[in-house]
Amino acid sequence: MKITRILAYRVELPLHEGSYKWSGGKSVSVFDSTVVAVETDAGVTGYGEVCPLGPFYLPAYATGARTGIAELAPHLIGEDPTQLSKLNRRMDAALLGHPYVKSAIDMACWDILGKVTGQPVCMLLGGRYGDDFGLYRAISQEAPAAMAARVHEYRSAGYRRFQLKVGGDPGEDIERIRAAAAELQPGDRLIADANTGWLMHDALRVVRAVRDIDVYIEQPCRTYEECLTVRQHCDHPFVLDENVDGLDMLLRGHADRAMDVVNIKISKFGGLTKARQARDLCVSLGLAMTIEDSWGGDIVTAAIAHLAHSTPSEFLFTSTDFNSYVTVSFASGAPQRKHGRLAASLQPGLGVTPKLDVLGRPLIEIGG
Ligand code: MG
């Protein structure tokens, strides 16, 4: 089987809540997502998606994704999309770095592999654990009482994991964590994600001030070394995210005992192939994971669901359903949250069918 044509579409994803805010005053109100279609000479088409969290979360941005796909696509015409490791080596040889550019293409090729083998992607990624899995809800940064009210609201909708966007004023962040924690019930989990927003002295004050609260601390500071220092002065469970973007950092973090949970985002690692490799390494090392992506709509949510559902349940700390945060649906068949839980599709491939009327005309068309 050969890739004959690669197309990329742009889709805008506004948020139900109007905007999403996190550390340092960063916010997004309409996400700019890119959907990729990989066509083959067998008449099978695979779909993928990549959606950076604005241009200032990771070194990734939406127009960069499309520029990179246009750069990379000519090198992939004629390649076999079902030989995933070989295809990834081809992408890495043609374009150094830029993992997020490769993510949607790799995802689309997993969709093709599932369709030609008649298997849902989760089966190809290792199997299906249980009927479904639990989700977290990200709580956009607002005043403490407003964030506590969101925890209450989303708890009523079935969520049992709440990721507070802190990383603002340390005094206010302490209040945010206390107010949100007061809404929790037994079995719930609270994560305070500073998204690199604190300096070390701020982080140390916050973790000391909330010592009596059952809360996870996620990515307090910008660098790995700063986070490790905070970790060594903190007795809360500790999550690393932004600093862990490949196997080298995963192994280093494990050797340093730098984290208890690691956040595996599909596009941060460069696609499902590499995210699965990281996931399997975490299982071997005994590390729990949050499995998700930087952002996305229906196709990213479907891909997350396949990777999360194929992860042993005790290692899956939590996952996410981005398609429920946004007002636009551009693919049918995407998984839908039920009582705070999600399940991967049982259909071959990712199980999604793009709505071409929503996607409109492709911005990129290479091959044919
Ligand atoms: Mg995070």
149-185: pLDDT as tens digits: 999 999 999 999 999 999 999 999 999 999 999 999 9
pLDDT in tens, 14-52: 999 999 999 999 999 999 999 999 999 999 999 999 999
Query: How many Å lie between the centroid of ligand 1 and the Cα of residue 263?
Result: 7
**156 and 300 assigned to the same domain:** yes
- Residue 78 confidence (pLDDT) above 90: yes
Query: How many Å lie between the centroid of ligand 1 and the Cα of residue 54?
Result: 14
Total domain count, the chain: 2
Res. 91 pLDDT band, cuts 50 70 90: very high
**180 and 230 assigned to the same domain:** yes
How far apart are alpha carbons 301 and 172 in whole angstroms? 32
Would you state the pLDDT for residue 101?
A: 98
Would you state the pLDDT for residue 118?
A: 98
How far apart are alpha carbons 350 and 87 in whole angstroms? 18
Query: How many Å lie between the centroid of ligand 1 and the Cα of residue 42?
Result: 40
CATH number at residue 305: 3.20.20.120
CATH number at residue 97: 3.30.390.10
Question: Closest Cα to residue 359, out of 330, 327, 334?
Answer: 330
Helices H / strands E in the chain, number of each: 13, 18
Res. 343 pLDDT band, cuts 50 70 90: very high
**Catalytic pick from 115, 265, 268, 274?**
265
Range of the domain at 328: 123-351
**70 and 219 assigned to the same domain:** no
Other Cβ atoms less than 10 A from the Cβ of 227: the count is 31
**35 and 54 assigned to the same domain:** yes
21 part of the active site: no
**261 and 310 assigned to the same domain:** yes
Query: Looking at residues 292-316, what average pLDDT do you find?
Result: 98
Res. 368 pLDDT band, cuts 50 70 90: confident
Residues in the chain: 368
Give the single-character DSSP code of 354: E
**174 and 237 assigned to the same domain:** yes
**223 and 273 assigned to the same domain:** yes
Query: How many Å lie between the centroid of ligand 1 and the Cα of residue 268?
Result: 12
**Catalytic pick from 165, 268, 338, 355?**
165
165 part of the active site: yes
pLDDT in tens, 127-156: 999 999 999 999 999 999 999 999 999 999
Query: How many Å lie between the centroid of ligand 1 and the Cα of residue 139?
Result: 12
Question: Closest Cα to residue 105, out of 226, 272, 352?
Answer: 272
- Residue 221 confidence (pLDDT) above 90: yes
**7 and 142 assigned to the same domain:** no
Strand partners, 15: 326
- Residue 120 confidence (pLDDT) above 90: yes
Query: How many Å lie between the centroid of ligand 1 and the Cα of residue 67?
Result: 26
Query: How many Å lie between the centroid of ligand 1 and the Cα of residue 190?
Result: 13
**78 and 200 assigned to the same domain:** no
How far apart are alpha carbons 154 and 162 in whole angstroms? 8
Which residue, chain included where needed, has tokens 């070394």? 225
Query: Looking at residues 189-216, what average pLDDT do you find?
Result: 98
Query: How many Å lie between the centroid of ligand 1 and the Cα of residue 57?
Result: 10
Residues 6+ apart with CB under 8 A from 97: none
**43 and 189 assigned to the same domain:** no
**191 and 269 assigned to the same domain:** yes
**168 and 229 assigned to the same domain:** yes
% the chain with pLDDT above 90: 100
